[in-house]
Structure 1
Amino acid sequence: MSRIVVIGAGLGGLAAAVRLAAAGRDVTVVEAGRTPGGCCGTASLGEYRFDTGPSVLTMPDVLADVFAAAGEDLETWLPLRRLDPYYRLRYHDGSHLDVVAGEEAMAEQVRALCGAAEADRYRRFRARLRELFAAEWPSFIDRDMTRLRGLVQPRALARLAAMGGFRRLDGLVRSHLTDHRLVKAHTFQALYVGLSPRQALGIYAVIAHMDTVGGVFFPRHGGMHAIPQAMAAVAEKAGARFRYGVRATRVETGHSGVSGVLLDTGERLPADHVVVAGDLPRAHAEGLLPAEARDWRLRHPRYSPSCLVLHFGLDRKLTGQAHHTLHFGREWDATFTALMAGRPQPDPNLLVTYPESDTAAAPAGHATLTVLEPAPNLRGRADWERLAPRLTDRLLGRLADLGYGDLSGAPRLAFDPPTWAGLGHSGGTPFALDHRFTQTAWFRPAGAARRVPGLHFAGMYTAPGVGVPPVLVSGRLAAERVLEASR
């Protein structure tokens, strides 16, 4: 039986571990933290508990597929609910748009805000989003891009080009929609891939399809951290062993490739295959990976912007607050220009998350609130020792102006770029490499080390890239490569 060590119990590592254990392989997961989750983490402050990683869950079928690989039902282990609305978008002029389920209901929201003509345009654009997704997902996201031949698909590429997939995202959306509020609703997602709407390719409109059409979901119990907890439990049931609070320090190789993994306890775990599911630049820099595993794609990494996140414990509930609210500032292009140049946004757009349904996260009558402001990563020239307090004070003032009250005295946890760096994120960003063309698909770090047989990779740093569904896909692809090589 092949012996497999998975390094990192984030979503990518867990997705690989579930599949490999379910296939009868001998799987050990090594995780430096005390719990599973990786970036999908959790933190507590007194009686308050916060999700410290992704807050947006789309495409639950991808998650269900992980459970199904082990013969398990997602609903049994991790019941989800669809948010209503998916998002509430608030604009600087006081107007707002609720992103809701169903074409008719959404078109009515657009008609009420932007008029009948824009609602008609929205319907046509929604159909285009569906076509883009149908062309892109099976051909370029849900398949192995580690082999160059995976990228060479003339028909699929021609179809994407004909639909505007290789135009800039901003231009593609504006060719269909005219109201600036609706344009923002379908281009802010460029930040998910670390780019401005004027930099990102039109292919990333599929992200708008995922969350504005496919929907946004949330676990009924336990918050987002319930996802890795359930995945780890399924992996253990399938036979995987977990070593928490233990750090892998070196992947060892022999004449035929991977031979084992050294731990900081002094132990050595024999291995025929290793899946590294974590921050790849750091893994190289700290000597976890052998020199032969170096990837030319990481010679000059370009990182996504980072973020300043404040988690608040509230002594009250908020009336009429959506689970996810996006507050758009007056500026638009200038905010992206500053961010991409390594400067704070002059008038930041904010994502406010209010997980009221997660009743165990706060005492009765209380609630939690999380606010995310995109910010420069540590590759810029910002002096974060001085900048962090200034941005925090500005953010508190902005929240007060937006009607959230004075939160300056509320219990809070703060995560800024230096904090993210301290947690092991290269460049001080939890969003890994950006998705410019030269860091997309085959151009993203490979999913397997060509010169080290048995060494595989999963997570945000390899294809398909950033986001919960892509990371889960990366774990599946890593497992498939291991199973193919160990037949």
Structure 2
Amino acid sequence: MNQENVTLILGAGIGGLTTAIRLAAAGHRVIVLEKNEVVGGKMGEWRVGGFRWDTGPSVITMRHVLEDLFAAAGRGLRDYLTLLPVEPLTRYFFAQGGTLDASLDLATMQAQIAGVAPADSEGYARYLAYAADIHRVTGPVFIYGPPPGWRQFLQVPPWDWLKADGLRTMSQAIAGHVQSPEIRQLLGRFATYAGASPYLAPATLNVIAHVELAGGVWYPQGGIYAIASALARLAAELGVEIRCGCAVKRILTKGRTVQGVELADGEQISAGVVVSNIDVATTMQTLLPATGYQPPAANSCSGFIMLLGVEGQDARLAHHNIFFSEDYEAEFDAIFARGEPPVDPTIYVAITAKTDETDAPAGHENWFVLVNAPSLDSHFDWEKERYRYRDLV
């Protein structure tokens, strides 16, 4: 099929749909090719017996990014999505005893911290200011702009690079602001949003804490997957053609110029532009001709997940809950150094029925349970050991 004036986007995940919307709004003809039968990529859902679970991301931050996207298409976010604020942001349970309800309000959060670690109340405020500085410096270059080149780097004053804090670890930076193991765990856990360990990741990733603790957490009415549905609807309204069940075998090139794609069924589609929203390693090693690309030697951590339909409702739990392990450093050492699931894991429990009661039958709750785990290429045999580990969790 000859369509040289078309832009092909590979993958209908959130990145692919967002790209399609922005290009279509700018006047481009866009076709999205998705191998699965539904859009959304990692943003999925599972329904059974009156229960509904989100199977991908569970925490939504940075509402303004969605608002900007819809505005770029001449639409209003509220006409497509209802985003409900989640408060507390997360309820934390510490192995040493005690709980803490994280709050967007600084005074409320400091009062919560004072109940667990009185000496860290002011240190937390200093940490937030520090994380906000990282966001101010890195946001325009790494978060909101196009992939940076040397020109973008040169526009950042040298003293601002120091504030990005890339020469020490997250845990080292956190320890410079708060002293209690409980609050250090609370702030260190944001490394896992990037699949990293706070004891190995650069302190720059403390920016993640700023995004959540200073910007808030949101829940889309109807579930996280409602975001994917809303984006697909907007894309269709803008004339984007979304083809599901359409796997791409390879990207066609001539020299250093893209020509289009070949589908798994042999069909070839010509295009002047191809945008891949597929994993970088897959794109470089499988879809493109030999590039010599080698993926990073170290993988991020993975996750062990259970979807539980629970009889009864537990008033002690909030929408987002974290049960910390007793030895946080040993937990990450097991995952990253030994490639083993920790014997005393930190456990995350999301219960969306706390915010949207339609996600579970009356008198029940839908528990999404996640613990950090080593990447699948570790020597641990999940096929053999998963039920034993399930019982441990």
2:216 matches 1:219: no
2:131 aligned residue: 129
Match of 1:446 in 2: none
Q: Which runs of 5+ in 2 are unaligned?
A: none
- Whether 2:230 is the aligned partner of 1:230: answer yes
Q: Which residue of 2 aligns with 1:321?
A: 317
| SS at structure 1 position matched to 2:167 | coil
Secondary structure of 2:377's partner?
A: coil
CA distance in 2, matches of 1:340, 1:255: 40
Q: Quick one: distance in 2 between partners of 1:77 and 1:230?
A: 6
Q: 1:58 to 1:162 in 2, by over 3 A?
A: closer
Say if 1:135 and 1:200 are closer, same or farther in 2 by CA, change over 3 A. Answer: same
Residue 20 of structure 2 corresponds to 17
What is the SS of the residue equivalent to 1:208?
Answer: helix
Structure 2 CA distance for aligned equivalents of residues 5 and 139 of structure 1: 27
* SS of aligned partner of 2:379: coil
Q: How does 1:448-463 map to 2 (within 5 A)?
A: none
Question: Quick one: structure 1 residues 13 and 162, their matched pair in 2 at CA, closer, same or farther if it must change by over 3 Å?
Answer: closer
Deviation at 1:237, TM superposition (A): 0.6
Q: What is the alpha-carbon distance in structure 2 between the residues aligned to residue 139 and residue 17 of structure 1?
A: 22
3-state SS of paired residue (2:352): coil
Aligned ranges 1:66-215 → 2 under 5 Å: 66-115=69-118, 117-145=119-147, 147-153=149-155, 155=157, 157-162=158-163, 164-215=165-216
Mapping for residues 305-384 of structure 1, pairs under 5 Å: 305-341=301-337, 342-356=339-353, 357-384=355-382
Structure 2 counterpart of 1:9, one-letter code: A
Q: In the alignment, does 2:270 pair up with 1:270?
A: yes
Q: Provide the TM-score with structure 2 as the length reference.
A: 0.93
- Matched with 1:47 is 50
Unpaired runs of 5+ residues, structure 1, are: 396-487
Check if 1:289 corresponds to 2:288: yes
CA contact (8 A) 1:132 1:165 kept: no
Paired residues of 2:164 and 2:204 also in contact (CA < 8 A) = no
1:187 is paired with a residue whose SS is helix
Superposed CA offset, 1:279-330 (max 9, x none): 2323344x32233xx364x344421111100011123333242111010011
Q: Do 1:334 and 1:346's aligned partners in 2 also have CA atoms closer than 8 Å?
A: no
What is the rounded CA distance, in whole Å, between the counterparts of 2:256 and 2:164 in structure 1?
46
Contact 1:325 1:351 in 2 (8 A): yes
Shift of 1:87: 0.5
SS at match of 1:385: helix
What whole-Å deviation, never above 9, does each CA across 1:397-453 have from its counterpart, x for those lacking one? xxxxxxxxxxxxxxxxxxxxxxxxxxxxxxxxxxxxxxxxxxxxxxxxxxxxxxxxx
RMSD: 1.9
Which residue among 370, 383, 386 is the counterpart of 1:385? 383
Q: Which residue of 2 aligns with 1:469?
A: none
What SS does the corresponding residue of 2:332 show, helix, strand or coil? helix
Partners of 2:35 and 2:248 in 1: CA distance: 8
Distance 1:300 1:119, change over 3 A: closer
Cα distance in 2 for partners of 1:295, 1:11 equals: 28
- Kindly indicate whether the alpha-carbon contact (under 8 Å) linking 1:145 and 1:151 is maintained by their aligned counterparts in 2: no
Matched AA of 2:344: D
Tell me if the contact between 2:134 and 2:164 (Cα under 8 Å) persists in the aligned partners: yes
2:38 equivalent in structure 1 = 35
Residue in 1 that maps onto 2:240: 240
What is the alpha-carbon distance in structure 2 between the residues aligned to residue 51 and residue 162 of structure 1?
36
Q: CA deviation at 1:27?
A: 0.4
Q: Distance in 2 between matches of 1:19 and 1:124?
A: 38
Residue 219 of structure 1 and its aligned partner are, at CA, apart by: 0.3
Task: Work out the number of aligned pairs and report it.
Answer: 388
